[in-house]
Amino acid sequence: MMRDDVAAQIMVDKCLVCHEVGRILLERKSRKGWEDCVVDMRVLARQKFHKDWFSGEEFRLIVDLLVRTQGS
């Protein structure tokens, strides 16, 4: 999953600061499931950090990577 690409780097920088990689790797979800999950994380990050933790483009890249590697 953590190939040397933009989406993987976003995952490292934005997701793995709070989540252990094993937690993400053990989950399988549909595209809708991952979109809902990432939306929830975006809302939590906004509440905690009082700013957008990632952009709309980063959202799309994260979801695409999760679907590609952890899709159901």
Domains, the chain: 6-70 (1.10.760)
pLDDT at 1: 47
Q: What is the pLDDT of residue 19?
A: 79
pLDDT value for 3: 55
Residues 6+ away with beta carbon under 8 Å from 15: 24, 41, 62
Q: Which helix (H) or strand (E) holds 57?
A: helix 56-70
pTM: 0.80
Mean pLDDT split into 10-residue runs, the chain, 72 residues: 71 81 84 95 88 88 90 88
pLDDT of residue 48: 86
Residue-level pLDDT at 4 = 60
Q: What is the pLDDT of residue 13?
A: 85
